[in-house]
Amino acid sequence: MRLKIWKLFGLLCASLLVAAIPRAALACGWSEPEVDELTFFAPEIIRQPNALPFFYRPYSSFFVPDRTPADLTALNLREWDEFFQHKLPSKDWSELLYPAALPRLDNLIFALQGKPDHRPGADDAPFMAYTDREPLIAALCYVGFAKRVEPFAMEGFAEWDWSGERRPVDRTARDKAIATLIEAGGKALAAAKIPFLRQRYALQILRLHFYRPDPAAGVKFYQEHQSDWTGESSVTWRAIGYGAGCLRKANRKADAAGLYAVLFDRFPPMKVSALTSFRPKEEREWRDSLAQASSVRQRTVLWQMVGILTGDPRAIKEIYAIDRKSDLLPLLLVREVNRTEVESRVTQDSPTKERPALISFIESVAKKGDVTDPFLWDLAAGHLRALAGDSAAAKRLLLRAAGRAPQDPVIQRQLRVSRLYATLQGMREPVPADEPMLARELKWLKQEAEKNHSTRLSSFLIWSRERLASLFLKHGDVLLSLCLADENHPLYKDPTQIERLIQFLRKPNKSAFEQFAAASYARNESSLRELQALIALYAGDIPKAAALFEPLKTDALNADPFVIHIRDCHDCDAQDPHHKRYSKTEFVRRLDALLRQAAAEPAKAAELYFEIANGLYNITYYGNSRVMYDNAHFDRTPPTYDCSHAKAYYRKAMEISKDRELAAKAAFMIGKCELNAYITAHPDHLDYAGGAGFAALRDSYPDTRYYKEAIRECGFFAKYLEKSKNGR
Amino acid sequence: MVATVPLLLCGLVAGAACSRPARARRAFHFWRTTFSLTAGEKEVLRQHHVERLYLRLFDVAWDYATSRSLPVGRCAFRDTVPTGLEVVPVVFLSNAVFEHQPDPALAGRVWGLTRFSADQAGFTFSELQLDCDWSDSTREAFFAFCRSLRELATQASVRLSATIRLHQVKYATRTGVPPVDRGMLMFYNMGQLGPAPARPSIFNVKDANRYASFVNAYPLPLDGALPIFSWAIQSRDGKVVGLLEKSAAASLDAVPALRRLDACRFQASEATFLHGAYLQAGDTLAIESVTPELARQAATTLGRHFHPRGAFAISLFDLDERNWKTYAPQDLEALWSAVR
């Protein structure tokens, strides 16, 4: 019913970006390209691993599958391991903490307490062996409480599950149960002597408050127990998260924002959830959040969060104005570079035209260099100038970047990529003197792409080859162009030109650049020679085709190309288990042999011509062996729709045959060739008036068995006869 | 015998002259994620003797992280449904759900969650409606889902209906007709979205007339939905980037960051958050409102071409007070009365 904003944006982006996708990224059906396929600027140069979920992505949400659950679980288990002084196997504790049911837990507690009639279970040995029983029992009692809290906490997650089998929830009873648990938890908290467990009891009680309809009570509890959550344990951060949640539910959104900012800034496992929870809805909320920020740091964090959420480049300027040395700037910077790259592909416009204010800002900051990593700004500015085609300015900026960049391999790689990008963008024609440098850089790029399994570098390599290919083509060097980026070119229709390409591939002592180009070429000599042979074959020159095919190892045809029927059934022919099998080479060899035999044995010529005709028919689009022309760049239109060569041999067979049945067959097949030509020209083929073949069959062979078979099996022929009778 | 025939004929003629055109069952759509009615909304239901509520119960979305369909945005019930109001739960399914490997269990899950949710909210239902804008590539999967769900619904004496969009009415042969008991014709969202569209996108007579003549021939019995909502089309650098729902021009005048350009357009003079959206400086908002006059045109246009056979409902989208507060009672009455 409604058009969701995200769906609309996605659809708009999808439709706009189809045209801009690199050739290599296209497949049979369109799927959203990854940002790595669309950009050449690696955001990883900022060297902030926790920023990964927030790198720019034009389609998907920036939420990579949330790392939080696994990260928090691992962290929690490490903390428990510390608590147990590494004396309790983590695997056993994890089993008890997470999947184990309450009865087992309760039984274990009683067993540890020495209560009669409570024996430990088979898996409880490590706990029974643990010497420090008091804290262990206290920990187990806490776990029992936490497991009782969990169903209320997970109830919200039933939102995300198909739980139609559950009984309806009685809300009054539920709220009462929560209140009871809070009371029990409060008592346990009051009695808890171990700070590690106190923190956890307090967290569980806070969670219960969060899931009650009275957020004010949750806020009160959070504020009263903040001193329980000290240090940097996972519990502290999770408590901050729930505290923020209670504040948000209590409509104290600015206060909540402050806590989300703390979480986002300082606890990586909850960065994504902090950001998604933060989302301001109205301007007042946002301004209040900023106004209440408790520190410069918090203000800049809030701006970074807004910058990521909204994509507004304003955020980067605000942070720069507040704190030029902020480590929050680089993420927003690389996001803007990637966004500009993607948008330029869509609009085909230069970024200097689309986003002049942004470019100007980045360059001015780069020039001032008063940020923490000025080389990043030089590199970003240089890359954007390269994108804009301003090679000279790009190179100046990149040179400055190189002067102040660290020797980090990721950064150095990006510098080299951006320099090559600037060079290629600035080229207007191929210059022989540049070729050694290009060969070196492209070879390096290919190695880096393969070594790092990098989609981005592979995309850049493809782009680079295509860029050079277009320059070579424009300046007349077709061979290098096709090797760098193959395409359907008229060269592939001309056997002489194909031969030139073959000779280039075979050329000894190629230059480094020529070697790179030849190695980039997707095809090999054998496939080009097959192409030459196919051109000869479909031109009707059987002896030449046979000579060209002879040295080649070729694929098999999938049916016997010499069988023919009134009604074609290609699948039937292919599935016939007894069909004779031919490779392409063997097929053409046989055609040639039949031709020579026909010349040498005139008495058999009619049958031989008929067989040749069948073979030539079946390698057209209409026949059972059209795989014959499976060869990239073989121009299928018109030769593969052309039955004229087959028709010529059917005519020869008809004219000289002494066997009237064979002649009738040949006449019908002439008619079929003519019908195919008609259908190709008239796709609706509603008004086929017949041709010479049907006429010959009607007039000269009405007494044959084949004639009767043709009427029975071929509706076109039957209709033709009826029209003939009616004088139409 | 001879005398009987004229009598019969007279009877038929008299009967035809005396028969009343069918009256629409009055309905509203409820499309918020929390079910809670304002006093005004309760009053409008009462005042206009509204009989039915099409209530969005939950969406089904495709979760890319776990590669499965999940229910999202479940309606939370803070109020009970007013007595005497029939509820037709509506489940919205995104097209993406059907673009992936078909899930044979999906129909059972949707059915189970619908019944559970209705139980929890305290209402029963005799019709379940599916809302999915299926495409050529998802048609077979969606229709298979409909067949499975219909089996379950039929066993419980529940009708299954599906929303039908205008292009699906006009090109029914190509788009297919879903295997359900009834359709709900969405008589809106017919124009092109754009920064400065030539014609309103929610409803305009010209685009409506391209589709309306096909309505009566649609092979399913239909109910109808008419628009009374408004939205603002957010654009940036000449491209549409978002939609702000239920945004009326009068309320936007009060936003400090917005500058009015003309009767229906605003521009953000500075960046601002607004109703959950974010406007960058320079973004424009083009308001489209379905005024009472426009809504009447929609109803009249539909009424000219849609002559239901049997009982049918006309629903107004949607019940939110912000939509109808500029409508006088007779304006709403006219909408339900236009289709006979």
Using omega within 30 degrees of 0 as the cis cutoff, is the peptide bond preceding A638 cis? yes
pLDDT band at residue B12 under the 50/70/90 scheme: very low
> Among residues A494, A463, A459, A464, which one has the least CA distance to residue A479?
A494
Q: Where are the beta strands (DSSP E) in A601-697?
A: none
Q: Residue B9 pLDDT more than 50?
A: no
Tokens of A434: 């540049």
Could B280 and A66 be called an inter-chain contact, meaning their C-beta atoms sit closer than 8 Å? no
Cα–Cα nearest to A665, from A650, A647, A686? A650
- Give the Cα separation of A628 and A545 in Å (integer): 13
Who has greater pLDDT, A19 or B142? B142
**Contact residues on chain A for B35, CB-CB shorter than 8 A:** none
Distance CA A632, CA A267 (A): 54
**Chain-chain contact of A312 with B273 (C-beta, under 8 angstroms):** no
Is the pLDDT assigned to residue A21 strictly greater than 50? no
- pLDDT at position A24 is 29
Range from A260-264, A278-282, A392-396, A583-587 carrying the lowest mean pLDDT? A278-282
Min Cα separation B67/chain A (Å): 11
Rounded distance between C-alpha atoms, residue A445 and residue B83, angstroms: 72
Q: Given CB atoms, is A172 within the 8 Å cutoff of chain B?
A: no
Name the residue facing A1 among B186, B273, B277 (closest C-beta). B186
Cα-only R_g, chain A: 39
The verdict on A282 touching B (C-beta cutoff 8 Å) is yes
pLDDT band for position A688 (cuts 50, 70, 90): confident
Cβ contact, residue pair B31, A1, below 8 Å: yes
| Contact at CB, A168 and B56, closer than 8 angstroms | no
Question: Residue A172 has what pLDDT?
Answer: 81
Asked if A190 is an interface residue toward chain B (Cβ–Cβ < 8 A), one would say no
Residue of chain B minimizing CA distance to A16 = B239
CB pair distance less than 8 Å for B92 and A3:
no
Residue carrying the six token digits 């008589």:
B187
Element (H, E) at B284: strand B284-289
Residue A304 or A21, more confident: A304
Task: List, for residues B102-136, the tens digit of each pLDDT value.
Answer: 888 999 999 999 998 999 899 999 999 999 999 88
**Structure-model confidence comparison of residues A728 and A420, the more confident one:** A420
Q: What is the pLDDT at residue A22?
A: 30
Question: How far apart are the C-alpha atoms of A434 and A386, rounded to whole Å?
Answer: 18
* Dist. CA B142–CA B106, nearest whole Å: 11
Residue A8: pLDDT above 60?
A: no
> How far apart (Å, rounded) are the C-alpha atoms in residues B257 and B267?
8
Full DSSP string of A50-79: GGGGGS--SSS-S-PSP-HHHHHHHHHHHH
Strands (E), B73-204: 76-77, 86-93, 127-131, 159-164, 182-186
How far is the C-alpha of A275 from the C-alpha of B292, rounded, in Å?
Answer: 41
Task: Kindly tell me if the per-residue pLDDT of A639 is higher than 90.
Answer: no
Q: Which two tokens stand for residue A257?
A: 């924002």
Nearest to A310 among B120, B186, B278 (CB): B278
Instruction: Please indicate whether, in this complex, the C-beta atoms of A283 and B245 are within 8 angstroms of each other.
Output: no
Note the pLDDT of residue A354.
Answer: 76
Scanning every residue of chain B, which has its alpha carbon at the shortest distance from the alpha carbon of A65? B65
**Can you give the pLDDT at residue A2?**
39
What is the spatial distance between Cα A13 and Cα A28, in angstroms, rounded to a whole number?
19
Segment B29-41 mean pLDDT: 94
Q: Which residues of A touch B240 (CB under 8 A)?
A: 8, 12
The b/e string for B124-142 (b: 16+ C-beta within 10 A; e otherwise) is ebebbbbbbbbeeebeebb
**Residue B204 binned pLDDT confidence (cut-offs 50, 70, 90):** confident
pLDDT tier for residue A16 given thresholds of 50, 70 and 90:
very low
* Average pLDDT of span A41-68: 78
Q: What is the pLDDT at residue A12?
A: 36
- How many CB contacts within 8 angstroms connect chain A with chain B? 88
Q: What is the distance in angstroms between the Cα of A63 and the nearest Cα belonging to chain B?
A: 9
Which residues are registered as beta bridge partners of B93? Answer: B60
Residue with tokens 């960065």: A271
CA distance A93 to chain B (A): 28
Whole-number CA gyration radius for chain B = 22
State the pLDDT confidence band at A158, using cuts at 50, 70 and 90: low
CA distance, residue A279 to nearest chain B CA (Å):
8
Residue of A nearest to B75 (CA): A159
With beta carbons less than 8 A apart as the criterion, state whether B249 and B289 touch. Answer: yes
A11 touches chain B (CB under 8 A): no
Backbone angles phi, psi at A182, to 5 degrees: -60, -40
Please report the pLDDT score of residue A490 as a whole number: 93
- To the nearest whole Å, the CA of B10 is away from the closest chain A CA by 47
Å from A241 to nearest chain B CA? 21
Task: Domains for chain B: give ranges and CATH numbers.
Answer: 12-228+290-338 (3.20.20.80), 230-289 (no CATH)
Return the half-sphere exposure (C-beta side, CA atoms, 13 A cut-off) of residue A220: 5
pLDDT at residue B332, as a whole number: 94
CA-closest candidate to residue A41, choices A413, A293, A403, A326: A413
pLDDT 10s digits, A138-157: 999 999 999 999 888 766 55
Q: Do A650 and A673 form a contact (C-beta atoms < 8 A)?
A: yes
Using the predicted structure, report yes or no on whether residue B65 has a pLDDT greater than 80: no
How far does A323 lie from chain B, in Å, by closest CA? Answer: 21
pLDDT of residue A578: 86
Percent of chain A predicted with pLDDT > 70: 91
> Which residues of B are less than 8 Å from A9 in CB distance?
241-242
Give A-chain residues touching B186 at CB under 8 angstroms: 1
Instruction: Centre a 10 Å sphere on the Cβ of residue A403 and count the other Cβ atoms it contains.
Output: 10
| Nearest-CB residue to B113 (from A3, A60, A162) | A162
Secondary structure class of B328 (helix, strand, coil)? coil
State chain A's mean pLDDT as an integer: 89
- Minimal Cβ distance to B317: which of A1, A65, A168: A1
Q: 3-state secondary structure string, A134-165? A: HHHHHHHHHHHHHHHHHHHHHHHHHHHCCCCC
Count CA within 13 A, CB hemisphere, residue A687: 1
Q: C-alpha distances in angstroms, A254 versus A9, A229, A294, A305?
A: 29, 22, 11, 14
**Residues in chain B, how many?**
340
Q: Which of A160, A164, A281 sits opposite B273 (nearest CB)?
A: A281
Other beta carbons within 10 angstroms of residue B325's beta carbon come to 10
User: Which residues between 132 and 171 in chain A have a beta carbon less than 8 angstroms from any beta carbon of chain B?
Assistant: 159-166, 168-169
Q: Do A12 and B240 touch (CB under 8 A)?
A: yes
Give the three-class secondary structure for A528: helix
Mean pLDDT of A444-470: 96
A661 pLDDT higher than 90: yes
Chain A residues in contact with B237 (beta carbon < 8 A): 354
Neighbours of A663 (CB within 10 A): 24
Average pLDDT, integer, range A362-377: 96
Question: Is a pLDDT exceeding 60 seen at residue A350?
Answer: yes
Q: Which residue has the higher pLDDT, B163 or A356?
A: B163
Q: Assess whether pLDDT exceeds 80 at residue B16.
A: no
Q: Are A312 and B280 in contact (CB under 8 A)?
A: yes
Residue indicated by tokens 């590690």? A196
For the residues A229-244, what does the mean pLDDT come to? 93
Strands B258-260 and B265-268: antiparallel
Q: Residue B11's pLDDT is what?
A: 39
Cα–Cα distance measured from residue A528 to residue A520, given in angstroms and rounded to the nearest whole number: 15
pTM across the whole model: 0.81
Give me A129's structure tokens: 């062996």
Instruction: Nearest by CB to A283, from B72, B239, B273: name it.
Output: B273
B72–A160: do the CB atoms touch at under 8 Å? yes
Nearest-CA distance B51 → chain A (Å): 21
Rounded to an integer, the average pLDDT of A224-233 is 90
Kindly state the percentage of chain B with pLDDT values over 70. 93
pLDDT above 90: residue B189: no
Query: pLDDT at residue A6 above 50?
Result: no
CB B87 within 8 A of CB B125: yes
When mean pLDDT is compared across A70-74, A325-329, A478-482, B230-234, the lowest value belongs to A70-74
Q: How confident is the model at residue A61 (pLDDT cuts 50, 70, 90)?
A: low
Q: Any bridge partners for residue B268, and if so which? A: B258
Query: Mind telling me how many Å the CA of A312 is from chain B's nearest CA?
Result: 7
Q: CB-based contact (8 Å) between A15 and chain B? A: no
| Calpha distance A108→B292 (Å, rounded) | 70
B225 φ, ψ (degrees, to nearest 5): -125, 130
Task: Name the residue in chain A with its Cα closest to that of B187.
Answer: A1
- Report the C-alpha gap between A324 and A312 in whole angstroms: 18
Residue A579: pLDDT band (50, 70, 90) is: confident
| Residue B290 in tokens | 């379905």
Cα–Cα distance for residue pair A717/A708, rounded to 1 Å: 10
Q: Which tens digit of pLDDT belongs to each residue from A159-198?
A: 556 664 445 567 788 888 999 999 999 999 999 999 999 9
pLDDT of B21 reads: 54
**What is the percent of chain A where pLDDT is above 90?**
76
Q: Which of A477-481, A686-690, B202-206 has the highest mean pLDDT?
A: A477-481
Test A12 with B71 for CB contact under 8 angstroms. no
pLDDT value, residue A9: 36
- Band (pLDDT 50/70/90 cuts) for residue A31 is low
